[in-house]
């Protein structure tokens, strides 16, 4: 009985020992396999950092309005008898847009004119009698005063009659009618909006730091594109000489031509006040810069031995291209514009910088060039003043 137990125990030890030994051997072989397996290079997109021209801009958000725009209202009450426009008509200055019933005013004008004619006749008769030395100076003065009063009454009646008409104060595009025929309207009722869309103004604010960079006549570029795809351009027309103490912002007004009518009063738009161009500025796409808790950094492609003069140059002995790796380099960034950022420190001209695929990289990782580019060659970057 004891002999059988010993044999069973020995067999169990052999089986367990074999399983444990097999697992240890397997793990060791797996580790050796991965340790000796070459790391596959990561394909990355890169650009060669080169000096470029840089046009600084002051960016803001502005509100567009017509240089001449008004909501037309009535001055007196009355019943609408005629509407002389339709929505989106182009009307000329002085055109009658809305006519109110003016029968009473016309009658009052006719009465005032008749009274004025009678007073003028009486004045001429009094002057003639005075010339014949029959009338007195008092009669002439009284007749002259009565004639002046009646003439003023005529002007008052004509003004009241004119108030029954709404005329276009300037040429422009009229909006949707807000009244209908036969409607009784009171003073202050809005009839329609009239906008001159040929020239627009854009009101925006800039921070206190940029206030002293502004000048009257500086070029302005809007974010909204014209009909041909080009942005609308204009100039700075006005700068408030006061900075708001609560917001630390200054009000600025630009004037922009709108020949294609794409700009609409009331819309908001991006405003770029263009500053003088600068040269020899290093810029990169913003996708190349990685932001972390330790600062901004980029990945620069270099030969694996760090001794080559260029990236990917052929080896003198084998004729094969040298292996490439990436090095993490911390940089100091400056102004930004669109998808570009200014590099102030950390890189130099000629560095090849990774622009895509950084999430798969680490310091010293091997890479291959998926595509090549040159940042700054033959291009002009736009900068934002911050």
Q: Taking 70 as the threshold, does the pLDDT of residue 20 lie above it? A: yes
pLDDT in tens, 322-380: 588 889 999 998 887 767 888 899 888 889 999 887 888 888 888 888 755 445 433 44
Exposed, middle or buried, 191 (CB in 10 Å: 0-12/13-18/19+)?
buried
pLDDT in tens, 265-283: 999 899 999 888 888 888 8
Please tell me the predicted confidence (pLDDT) of residue 63. Answer: 93
pLDDT in tens, 73-130: 999 999 999 999 999 899 999 999 999 999 998 999 999 989 989 888 888 888 888 8
Under 8 Å between Cβ of 232 and 222: yes
58-65+200-274 CATH fold = Elongation Factor Tu (Ef-tu); domain 3 (2.40.30)
**In the chain, ranges of CATH 2.40.420.20 domains:** 42-55+278-384
Q: How far apart are CA 118 and CA 96, in angstroms?
A: 33
Q: Taking 80 as the threshold, does the pLDDT of residue 31 lie above it? A: no
Give the CATH class of 42-55+278-384: mainly beta
Helices (H) and strands (E) in the chain, counts: 4, 23
Q: Say which residue, 211 or 377, is predicted with more confidence.
A: 211
pLDDT in tens, 307-323: 444 444 444 444 445 58
pLDDT in tens, 224-266: 655 555 788 999 999 999 999 999 999 999 999 988 888 889 9
Mean pLDDT of 46-74: 89
pLDDT in tens, 158-188: 999 999 999 999 999 999 999 999 999 999 9
Please tell me the predicted confidence (pLDDT) of residue 28. Answer: 78
Task: Indicate the pLDDT class of residue 210, thresholds 50, 70 and 90.
Answer: confident
**In the chain, ranges of CATH 2.40.30.170 domains:** 58-65+200-274
Please tell me the predicted confidence (pLDDT) of residue 71. Answer: 92
Q: How far apart are CA 385 and CA 55, in angstroms?
A: 10
Rg (CA), the chain: 43
Q: Say which residue, 379 or 31, is predicted with more confidence.
A: 31
Q: Quick one: DSSP state of residue 227? A: T
**In the chain, ranges of CATH 1.10.287 domains:** 102-163
Q: Say which residue, 222 or 320, is predicted with more confidence.
A: 222
How high does pLDDT run on average in the chain?
Answer: 83
Architecture of domain 102-163 in CATH? Orthogonal Bundle (1.10)
Task: Indicate the pLDDT class of residue 383, thresholds 50, 70 and 90.
Answer: very low
E strand spans, 244-339 = 249-257, 268-274, 278-285, 290-292, 295-303, 324-330, 332-337
Greatest CA separation found in the chain? Answer: 174
In the chain, the N- to C-terminal Cα span, in Å, equals: 93
Please tell me the predicted confidence (pLDDT) of residue 380. Answer: 44
Predicted TM-score of the model (pTM): 0.65
Q: How far apart are CA 327 and CA 304, in angstroms?
A: 10
Q: Taking 80 as the threshold, does the pLDDT of residue 206 lie above it? A: yes
Under 8 Å between Cβ of 340 and 286: yes
Q: How far apart are CA 54 and CA 280, in angstroms?
A: 8
Q: How far apart are CA 159 and CA 153, in angstroms?
A: 10
């Amino acid at each position: 009985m004891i002999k059988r137990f010993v044999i069973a125990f020995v067999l169990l030890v052999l089986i367990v020992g074999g399983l444990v030994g097999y697992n240890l051997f397997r793990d060791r072989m797996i580790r050796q396999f991965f340790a000796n397996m070459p790391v596959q290079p990561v394909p990355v997109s890169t650009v060669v950092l080169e000096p470029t021209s840089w046009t600084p801009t002051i960016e803001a958000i502005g509100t567009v309005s017509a240089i001449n725009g008004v909501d037309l209202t009535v001055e007196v009450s009355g019943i609408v008898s005629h509407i002389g426009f339709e929505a989106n008509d182009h009307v000329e200055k002085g055109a009658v847009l809305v006519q109110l019933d003016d029968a009473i005013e016309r009658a009052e004008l006719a009465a005032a004119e008749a009274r004025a004619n009678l007073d003028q006749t009486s004045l001429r008769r009094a002057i003639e009698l005075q010339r014949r030395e029959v009338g007195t100076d008092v009669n002439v003065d009284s007749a002259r005063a009565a004639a002046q009063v009646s003439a003023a009454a005529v002007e008052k009646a004509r003004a009241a009659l004119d108030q029954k008409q709404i005329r276009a104060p300037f040429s422009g595009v009229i909006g949707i009618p807000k009244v209908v025929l036969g409607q009784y309207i009171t003073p202050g009722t809005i009839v329609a909006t009239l906008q001159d869309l040929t020239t627009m103004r854009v009101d925006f604010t800039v921070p206190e730091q940029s206030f002293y960079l502004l000048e009257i006549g500086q070029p302005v570029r809007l974010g909204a594109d014209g009909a041909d795809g080009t942005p609308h351009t204009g100039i700075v027309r006005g700068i408030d000489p006061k900075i708001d103490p609560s917001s630390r912002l200054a009000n600025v007004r630009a004037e922009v031509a709108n020949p294609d009518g794409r700009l609409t009063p009331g819309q908001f738009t991006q405003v770029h006040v263009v500053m003088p161009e600068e040269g020899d500025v290093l810029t990169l796409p913003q996708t190349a810069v990685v932001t972390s808790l330790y600062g901004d950094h980029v990945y620069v492609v270099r030969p694996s031995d760090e001794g080559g003069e260029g990236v990917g140059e052929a080896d003198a002995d084998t004729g094969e291209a040298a292996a490439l790796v990436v090095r993490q380099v911390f940089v100091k960034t400056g102004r930004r514009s669109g998808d570009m950022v200014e590099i102030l420190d950390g890189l130099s001209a000629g560095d090849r910088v990774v622009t895509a695929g950084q999430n798969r990289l680490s310091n010293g990782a091997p890479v291959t060039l998926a595509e090549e580019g040159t940042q700054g060659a033959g291009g002009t970057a736009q900068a934002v003043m911050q």
